[in-house]
Every structure is written in C-alpha cells, then in structure tokens.
Structure 1
Amino acid sequence: MQDDLVKILDYFKKRPGTWILARELIHHFKIPMEGRRSFHNLMQALVRSRQLIRGKGHRYLLAPSTNIGPHHKGRDQGGLKKGERDSSQKASGIESIIKEFRLREAFPQKVQDETRHFSQEKMAGDLKGRRDLRSLVMMTIDGETAKDFDDAVGIQSLSRGHFRLWVSIADVSHYVQPRTAIDREAHQRSTSTYFPARCIPMLPEVLSNNLCSLVPHQDRLTMTAEMDFDATGLLVQSRFYPSVIRSRARLTYREVKQMILDNDAALQKKYASIYPDLKLMEGLCDQLRLRRFERGSLDFDLPEPEIVLNLEEGKVESIAKALRHKAHMMIEEFMIVANEAVATYLTSKMSVTVYRVHDVPDREKMKDFREFIHNMGLGLPGGHKITSKNLAQLIQSMRGRSEERIVNYLLLRSLKQAEYSVDNCGHFGLASPCYTHFTSPIRRYPDLIVHRLLKEALGSSPLSVSVKDRSARRGQMQEMLTHCSEQERVSMKAEWASRDWAVALFMKDKIGKEYEGIICSVTDFGFFVELKEYFVQGLVHIKNLQGDYYVFHEKAHKLQGRRTKKAFKIGDLVKIRVKQVNVEKRRVDFDLAISSRSSQRLSGSL
C-alpha cells in the first residue's frame, strides 16, 4: 500500500497546481475494475493526511505543503495558503473554473510596471535591421470575436504557376525579453485560455490586444517566413527575417467564405484590392492540402461547439457546431507550412531547438481500435505496423458514412497527445518529420522561444538562454517545455469545463423534454449521449438503466445486461429525457425515454 501511495504522490508532484480527475489516474495506472475500491480508499487516505486536496467531480490537487523539491522551487501556481479553503464551491460560472484550475488571472505589479515602458511612439526607432514589407498586401483572417491577431498573410503569383507566400507573425520577442517579469509570468501561464466571451491572456493586454496585435492600417513589428512554391505546392525555397508590416484588412472567416465560395458581389467590391489575392490563396491552399494528405496527414472532421452567450441576461443563447470551411483551411495550411519551414531551418542551424512532437500510437490502443472497427464491419489498411497513411485512408473511407463521427472520435482517443520537446520524433498526426510552433507567440510561450531561437540563428539576437553549454541548455529548455505542455493540458481542461458549464446553463430550462441522440461514449458508470437538435452531451447513468444489471465491456465500448443481454454501445440511436441539470457542478443528466428503452443502431449522421 505504501508503494502505491508513493507512486500516486509522485504523479501529482510532476503536475503541481493541476487538478487531476480520478479517472485519469485509473487510466494511467491501469487499475482494473476489481481494484478501484482500494484505489478510492487510497485517495481518501491522502486527502485525510492533507497531502491531497479534493475538489468537485472527483478531482484532486497536490497540497502546497507536499509540493517540494528543486524541480518545483519558486513555481507559483496560485495554490491554497495555509488555513485557506477552496472557495470554488461559492463562486459561479467561469469564476469557479478559474479558481478550480488555479489559472493566473491578474498580472503581478512588476509586470504592470514593465508594460508602462511600451508605446506606439517608440516603434520608429525599432525598425533598424528590419525588412520593410509595408507596401505588400497583407491581411489577417480570424474569427468574429478575435482581438489578438498574431498572424498576417500575403501572396504573389510568380512565373510558371509558382507562388510566393509571406506569413508574418507578431514579433513578441522584441517586447518580451528573457528574464524580465513579463517573460517569467508568460512562462508560468504558458498559454492563453479561452472561455465563452472571455479570455485569460498569456500577455498583458497592452501587448496581446495592442502593440503585438496585427491590427489593420498600423505599423507592426513581425518575424516573417517568406516561402516560394512551385505549381504543385512543393516548397522550393524559404527565407526568414525580422520585418515591419501594415495589414490592409482585418477579415473574418465568414467574410472570406462569402467572397471565395458564395461569390458575394458586395463583399468582393468592398475588398476589391484584396479579393484577387484571396483567390490565389485558395489555389495554393488546395495544392498544400493535397500534398499533406498524400503523405498521410490525418484530417479529423470533429466540429467544436460554438457557444453564443448573452452576458446581459446571463444565459446561453445557442450551442451549435462551429462551421469549418475553406477560409479556415487556408490559414491552417499556411500556418502548418510555415511551422515546418521554421522547424527545418532551426534544425539545420541550432544544436538545441523546440519541436512540437506527436509520437506514434500505443500498440495496445491501436489493437483495441482495430478490434472495435472490425466488429463494425470495417478494416484498417496496412499490416500490424500502423502508419499515419493507413489511418488517413480509413478516415477518408468514412467520409459521409453514418459511423464517421464515432470512428473519428475513437481514433482520436487512441492517439497520444502532442507535446513540446527538444527531441524530435516527428509529428504523427501531421505526418511531418520536422514540426514546431512558430505562428502564435501572443498566446503560446513555446512559439516565443522559437522566435528567440530564430533570431539567434539569423544572427540578429544574442543567446536567449544564458547557459551556453549544450547539455545544460538542452536540460534547461526541456524543463521549460515540459512546464508548457503541462500548462497546455490545464488550459484545455479549463476550456472543456467552461463548455460543460455553458451546456448546463443552456439546458437548465429543458428538464423533462425529450430528444433524439447518439451514444458517443460508454464508461463503467453509464454512457454519454450527443443530441441531434443541439450540440450538447449528457450522461445516462448506469443506475438509471432499469430491469437488469449492466456490465461494462471496455474493448467493445458497450454496456450489456447480464440477464437480458440488452446492450447500449457507441453509435446507438436513443431517445432521452432531460432528467436533471446542475449548473454549479456542470452536469447534465439524461435518462432513457420510455419509447427508447431498447436502443437501435445509428441510421443517420449527426
């Protein structure tokens, strides 16, 4: 038992300030069903001994007094002080999520003091050594509510059907210097966190929404990747340099779609000086996507929820599937190719650099996935060694089929998480041998490190890390990147929690109503149903399944009655009734409608 306690505590010590779900621990330590009662007893023992703090929803946090060791020295995660109690129960909505996940909201006074030195007027003296791109037609393309515009794109048609693409990224490294208060705070946060109608930024607003934001008709300092492509979308040459740009327009994805897909004449006239470039970008995008998918890049069609929040009335107006179309794809392709080009360049120039890596899938998980789709009458191309190209072929074969969403969802869950590292193992999901993150330094700290390394490689900046010894520098950088990967996961969990809160808020006046939905996930405590009418999920708890004792079959993703053999499995179409909604706990509970006590197979796509 003592060994088990030590292992659990070690797991938490590597993730200071992070709330961890019990089911995450169960999955990590591969605890079988028969051992879970003992596991929960161990967790309670750690809570009673004040080594862990228990939160809502079976979440646990390492107690501050337990957070010891040189690796964590000085790392302020906003934890509870001695004698302080978790007040997240009393807070509501987004505020409770901020407290629950220990997100750093207010900027320290030292950071605020440093930001006072920044101003637009001082920029004139910062143009030395920069390439002047202000005469180029550059534009930003973002969502409707975006404020931190960190990337601008421009294009030019060359002879023989070739293209020249400029991807200019806000030069955050010019303002955020190493070992300053702003830099330390940005590293602690590592990422911006986005909630419905709200953002907790990585950088103070004077930078994220002003000086570093590539707003139209204003001079802005950038780092530019200039890339030449042949008529087939093959990258033939790339150049990198500090620059200054002046964006011609702040476009939204909707506006770009209306111009290039819907042929909106009014918008085409409004943006007459930009529209021809958008058509060029559309053509290059098609070539880049074709090349990427040919090499085996995975393209999951798993839409995100689009939440419309009415702040004045304190309610959620709607939750629908966010549309993804050509405008999104254009920016996605341009950012991917820029990231790859920078990664390749830094690999050739630097002894230590930053990679965004995505390791090959776990063999056992792939075996289980193959078995599951086999039971659905589907096969996986290739032999026992799974490649991204095999999986890409499967995804393509599922296009338009009723099982597409379920297969994509399960496949995504079977893959490993991407992370940051100084060791390059490639990016499995993108089928890219060399990849990094360069394009979002306003909201991702690893991108800021990459910008500093790029300047160093170009000879326009001194060493960004004081330790010149290669092995010491490597270790120092990996420690920074490990923290960034951990904080990225904390931020993602907080964003998921905010969606759960919005869903509960949206569904609270729908108790008793019946809806059709699809079983999208099955666990040992019940199954989750995604509604057809709204982009909403809720839980049918196993205790609410009447008339039998249901057993969880993990590999088959189903619950089956021991006596009747009635089964509920992923992909089944069911009719549910909204039983209970708890906004504070961010839970929506369903039970089966009388007309749906027997499930049926999916007959239509979501």
Structure 2
Amino acid sequence: MRAFLNSLTTGLDGKYAKSSELEILRVLEQIKAVSKYKNRYYLNDGFVCGKLDISSNGTGFLYPYDSRFKQDLMIENRDLGGAKFGDIVLAKLTKFKKPRQKATVVAVLQMANETSVVYTKKIGPAIMGVTIPNSLTIALKASQKSLKELPQGTVLKINNLDNDIVEVLGVIDDPSVDQKISMALYNKREIFPKIAQNEAISFGNEVDKGMYLDRVDLTHLPFCTIDPVDAKDFDDAIYFDKNTNEIYIAIADVSEYVSPYSGIDKEARFRGFSIYFPHIAIPMLPRELSENICSLKPNCDRLAFVFKIKLNSNLEPISEELLSCIIHSKRRFNYDEVDSLIKGELECQKEIENWLIPLFELTQKLKEKRLKNGFDFHTLELRMSLDKNGDISSTRFESSTPSHSLIEECMLLANKAAAKRVKKGIFRNHAPADLKKINDLLNDLAVLGIEEQYDGDLVTMIAKIQVKASELGIREDIDKLIIKAQKRAEYSSNCTGHFGLGFEFYSHFTSPIRRYSDLILHRILKAGDDAKLTNYLMLGIDELCSSLNILEREADKVAWDFMDRKFARWAAKNIGQTFKCYIYESGNQTVAKLDDELKGARIFLNNFKSEILTTVRVKITDVDIPTAKIMGKVVEILDV
C-alpha cells in the first residue's frame, strides 16, 4: 500500500495497478484527489497520504508517506472523520500556521482493523468505551440503559465503522480475558469456521498405506521426532544412514490434505501462522490436522515430503532427492531427552541411538562450517508458566542446547535444498543491516567497554564483538543488541539470500503445520515442471508474501501482548515493592527489564537516564491493566 501511494507523487501507470489499487484510484478520482495524464495518475497538490496515530487526548498525527514532509501533521479530533488509530488515510492540508502544519482526513484508504477492543467506564453520567491499548474515549452504539446493566470494566469488541458492539469478551479484572484481548487486538480467532472443521474431520485419524501405492514406503526406517516437551504438532522427523552419509528430513505432507482455495486453506491463509501462548497453542490448521492426521506422531503411519540429502566428505550435498513418502516415526523425543542421550545419560532403542549420536557429531561439523559465513547468536527465550487462575507462577529463560542445534542444522539443509529447486516462489530473505544501525550499535557497545571499528566485513566484525562479549560475561545481552541492529527476515517471491545465515538460497519448507509459507512452497515443489499449475499457484504471490510478513509480526505481537498483560497483573499486586532490573532501552523513554525471581517484564521509567544493561533496583509505582503498562522509578543503581 505504501509503495502504491508513494508512486502517486511521481506518477503511477494505471496498467500496472492491481485490482485493489484500481478501486482506490476510482475513489480518489471521485473526490478529485488525483488527476490522470497520459494514463498516469498523480496526487493533486494539497493532498497527502500516510498512517494515522492518535494520542490519548484524541489528537491525530499523520505520518506522511511522501518523503518531502519532514514532520508529522497534526489533525484535530474534530477533523479525524471517523478514522481510527493505524488507519492509512488521505488528508487535505489546511492553512499552514506555525508551529506545525495541520490537515483534515478526507478518506480512509485502508482500515488498520475492522474492529477495536474497549472496556466500559463511567465518565460523568454516561457509560463510555475506552479503547485498548491507547485509552481513547468513544461513544458506543448502544443505549445507556443496556450499558449500565453491564459490569463496570466490561471488555467489548466493537465494529470500527459504527462503534456497534460485536462481542462481549469478559471483564477487565478477570485474568481469563487476557487471551481474548490479545487476540482481538490483532483480529485473530480461535474457533475455525464450520466448513474448515468439517473438511478436517473428513480425513479421519489413520493413514491407509494401500491408498498410496505411488508413494515411497519408508516405514521400515527408524525415524524419530525431537520437539519441546509440551509440543502437540510434529512437523518434522529425521533419520540418518551413517553408512551412506544420507540424512532424511521428513516433513508433514500438509498439502495432501489442504487443497488451494478449500475451506481449510482460506482459513490457514487468513491466520498465516500458529500462535503460541504459555498455556495453549492457537493452531493455523484445525487440530484434527495439526495434532492428528498431519502430525508425525510416534507409532503411526503418516504422509511425508522427504528430502534425502547425501553429503560428501567435505559436508557438501552431492544429491538432494525430494520424495513423496510414507513414514512411521519410532520414537517421540523431547529436547531434554536427546541432550541426555548425547551425554550418555539416557538409553533408547539401539536402532535409533546408533544413528542419532553420529548425526549429532555430523551436524556439529555442519554448524562449524556454516558459521564461517553466518552468525551464531546465544539467545534466551522467555518462557512463562501460569497457575490455575491464569496468573504468573514462574518465568524462565530457555537457551539453545545440543539437541536444538542438531535439529536446526537438519532443517537448514532441507530449507536450502528446497530454495534451490525454485526460480520464483516463496523465499525467506534477510538483507544486511544498514550502516546507520551498525554505527548506532558500535556506539552502544563502546559505552559497554567493547571497542570495535566498522571494516565492511560484518560477519568478521560481529564475531570479534561476540568474543569480547563472552570475555565480559555479557554474550547473551550483546547478541540481543546485535539482533536489534539487523533487519528483519521477510518473505518474498524472489530470492535475494539470507545474510544472517550466510546462505545464497533459503526458504521455509519444514513447518507446513504452523506456517502458511511452507505449505505454499510444498505445492510449488510438487508442481515441478507443470508450468500451468505453477502459474496457478503463483497467482497473487507478491501480495501473499506481503501479507505473511504482516501476519508473522502480528503473531509475535499477540504472544508478547499476552505476556505483558500477565506481567501487569503481577505488578498490580506488587505496587510499592522493589525489584532488581537492568536498563533495556535508553532513548526517549527509558525501559527497564525485570531480572529478579521473575524475569522479563518491561517497566517504564520516568526522569531516569542511564546506559543500557545498567543494573538497577526499581520500585513499581503504578500499573495500568488495560494498556498492560508498568511504571516504576529507580531507587538504587547496583554494582555487579
């Protein structure tokens, strides 16, 4: 959308506009915001397009897409024209009065959300809706009599077009409403449409080998799965033939069950990704598929798409065969069990142990070779546990272990092999960090005692930084800063390489149960040389990639928002208490992160500036449950 609207400033050739863009152009023509000259559309003087922000007092701020505007534009509340936070709008400039330019919203070109989440609050004599999370007060399309019958703090989903109540989610004081709020904020749903549910049920629970005589039967091989202890959907299984140096990476063959434009497919495309909360997973596919017939469960025949990759003595692939198979996983491991097996502390079936230990040794060599061109980050994933009331019982950081590394290297092999098989499809690209962010990173590191000069070779430079960080005992913290300085990996129909991994070709092939991108890639690979089918599958691929990039960020935000809400409820019970923290951000707003018995909560600090990673003791001063914001003040700087 941004690229399309930007092109109107220099002239957009109408024949290259998509159907959705042509609809917007017709609207802009009707309100005389664009002019057409020699089949090119130009935005008329006095109009500007951009994204809308709205402050808690109701004042709007438009961030123009046109780079000629060096400052955001102020929009008075009366001039918002019903536009909501995050909407992409067309605005008309009003007479310029210092100190800043103002504008009036003319049209909403793209709504950020069809719905909003509010909670009811008595303001004066009336019951109003207060938006979550930006605390705007709005009048609801309901009688005051009916609103007064609701408990104070009732959480509602409302239609953004007319503020009509769509759904009652719960009450803000009830911890069980947190998941509903987090999902509603990003327009996510838990229940599957009836058509998708019925399609999923129709596939049954078992695979009959007799129905798939054209598939390669690998049920005699001792495959196994390795996943988190609480996993319910098993995307991948592995087997290693140490005599031939061939790794088999078996991936659930979801495309056998989910046809393009079917009910399940439409819902999977809408969701894009599975969402993982501490207590439950919201799957991309109905559970009848994700946790049953598609899942590579132990002691069950299952359909799989298998890469059989043979390596030479230099660990280079000399053949990468892709097979439609039937497999039979002989064991379901969790990561801890495999770590114990690697250490010699656990026994398992000899037919698995005899190949799993040699495969681990092989993958460590693969990793060592890969890191000559890519990065190795020591990241800690925050894990939260809840009690029966839905409140936090504990938090912990989970780090990568040898078993994680074993699986990762196998999946990387398959993802690379898949990417090399398609010229245009769906790739996972990662661009190098820009120079400004690298310079900002080096400045932050200098404050922390790590002096390094930019020399153009980012891989070598970052490796040096990591060595120094390890010597100082702050490797995980420094790795977080390095990751923040880099660009985000994204999906695209064209391959531009993956900078972080150091790969020329890379895509996502190994998780079709929980990522829609992988399902699309499976279909393209199966199409092979069938140009007609490939073209059919590629219809709208660029729009799909853009959509998946947004949906991926939203899936992350839903999970983070949920944890923020749980932290806020914990903090509300601990106002006035002090806790050990470290400074996480130090810009316009200083943010500390909890690093006590509980870890990970963000605490916003007023009137305090310090270098990042400074250890401090913070008193919790205030908590706002609806916005999930914790406020605090530093009472002591700690020496550690």
- Confirm or deny a common fold (TM above 0.5): yes
Q: Specify the code of the residue in structure 1 equivalent to 2:429.
A: V
**Structure 2 stretches lacking a partner, 5+ long:** 1-44, 90-105, 115-156
- Say whether the 8 Å CA contact 2:310–2:320 is kept in structure 1: yes
How do 1:126-137 and structure 2 match up within 5 A? 126-137=211-222
- Work out the CA distance in 2 between the residues paired with 1:488 and 1:380: 34
**What percentage of residue pairs aligned between the two structures are identical?**
26
Offset at 1:89? 8.5
* Residues 233, 513 of structure 2: 8 Å contact kept: yes
Quick one: distance in 2 between partners of 1:354 and 1:209?
25
Q: For the Cα contact (< 8 Å) 2:276–2:282, is it kept in 1? A: yes
Query: Which residue identity lines up with residue 288 of structure 2 in the other structure?
Result: V
Q: 1:317 aligns with which of 382, 388, 393?
A: 393
Count of aligned residue pairs for this structure pair: 529
1:353 deviates by 1.7
CA shift in 2, pair 1:510/1:276, >3 Å: farther
Q: Does 2:502 match 1:431?
A: yes
CA contact (8 A) 1:528 1:540 kept: yes
Alignment CA distance shift 1:145-1:186 (3 Å): same
Residue number in structure 1 paired with 2:50: 7
Distance 1:500 1:128, change over 3 A: same
Q: Deviations over 1:231-281 (max 9, x none)?
A: 4433232111111000001110011112212x32xx31x444322222112
CA distance in 2, matches of 1:293, 1:183: 37
1:538–1:590 Cα contact (<8 Å) kept = no
CA distance in 2, matches of 1:89, 1:522: 36
Structure 1 contact 93–584 (Cα < 8 Å) conserved: no
Kept after mapping to 1: 8 A contact 2:378/2:399: no
CA-based RMSD: 3.5
How many angstroms apart in 2 are the aligned matches of 1:250 and 1:535?
31
Residues 229/142 of structure 1: CA separation in 2 closer, same or farther (3 Å cut): same
Contact conserved, 1:307 with 1:319, CA < 8 A, in 2? Answer: yes
The aligned residue for residue 15 of structure 1 is none
- Structure 1 equivalent of residue 233 of structure 2: 148
Three-state SS of the structure 1 residue aligned to 2:501 is coil
Deviation at 1:23, TM superposition (A): 14
Residue 307 (structure 1) shift: 1.0
Q: Which residue of 2 aligns with 1:260?
A: 342
- Specify the alignment match of 1:492 in structure 2: 556
Q: Which secondary structure state, in structure 2, belongs to the residue aligned with residue 8 of structure 1? A: strand
Quote the residue 2:250 is aligned against.
Answer: 168
User: Of 93, 104, 113, which aligns to 2:198?
Assistant: 113
- Map 1:582-597; keep pairs closer than 5 Å: 582-593=624-635, 596=636
2:514 — aligned with what?
443
SS at match of 2:503: coil
Q: SS of 1:398's equivalent?
A: helix
Q: Which amino acid aligns with 1:366?
A: I
Question: CA distance change for structure 1 residues 230 and 406 in 2, over 3 Å: closer, same or farther?
Answer: same
Corresponding letter in the other structure for 1:332: E
Deviation string 1:471-507 (CA, Å, 9 cap, x unpaired) is: xx4x721111111111111111111112212323444
Task: Using the TM superposition, give the Cα deviation of residue 121 of structure 1 relative to its aligned residue in structure 2, in angstroms.
Answer: 5.1
Corresponding residue of 1:482 = 546
Contact 1:232 1:287 in 2 (8 A): no
The 5 A counterparts of 1:170-569 are 170-261=252-343, 263-264=344-345, 267-268=346-347, 270-295=348-373, 297-310=374-387, 312-347=388-423, 352-380=424-452, 383=455, 385-457=456-528, 463=533, 465-466=535-536, 473=538, 476-543=540-607, 545=608, 559=609, 568-569=610-611
Q: State the secondary structure of the residue aligned to 1:412.
A: helix
**1:462 Cα shift?**
7.3
Question: Relative contact order: is structure 1 or structure 2 higher (C-alpha 8 Å, sep ≥ 6)?
Answer: 1
CA distance in 1 between counterparts of 2:573 and 2:107 reads 43
| Residue-by-residue CA offset, 1:374-423 (whole Å, 9 max, x unaligned) | 3444344652x343343234224422524434432222111111110012
Comparing 96-105 with 395-404, greater Cα deviation is found at 395-404
More helix by share: 1
The 2-side partners of 1:93 and 1:571 are apart by 30
Shift of 1:538: 2.9
Q: Which amino acid aligns with 2:202?
A: H
Rounded to whole Å, the distance in 2 between the matches of 1:500 and 1:189 is 22
Q: Which is worse superposed, 299-308 or 404-413? A: 404-413
Gaps of 5+ in 1: 13-21, 55-59, 468-472, 546-558, 560-567
CA distances 1:207-241 after superposition (whole Å, capped 9, x unpaired) = 11111000001000000011112344332321111
Query: Which residue of structure 2 aligns with residue 138 of structure 1?
Result: 223
Are residues 513 and 156 of structure 1, via their aligned partners in 2, closer, same or farther at CA, if it must alter by over 3 Å?
Answer: same
The structure-2 alpha-carbon separation of the partners of 1:238 and 1:280, relative to structure 1 and needing over 3 Å to count, comes to same
The question of whether the paired residues in 2 share the 8 Å contact of 1:318 and 1:506 is answered with no
CA distance in 1, matches of 2:67, 2:468: 33
- Tell me if the contact between 1:202 and 1:444 (Cα under 8 Å) persists in the aligned partners: yes
Contact in 1 for aligned 2:224/2:237 (Cα 8 Å): yes
Q: Normalising by the residue count of structure 2, what TM-score does the alignment of the two structures yield?
A: 0.75
**Structure 1-normalised TM-score?**
0.79
CA distance in 2, matches of 1:184, 1:394: 46
Any idea what SS the aligned residue of 1:244 has?
A: strand
How far the C-alpha of 1:571 sits from its partner, in A, is 1.9
Contact 1:342/1:436 (CA < 8 Å) preserved in 2?
yes
Distance 1:175 1:462, change over 3 A: farther
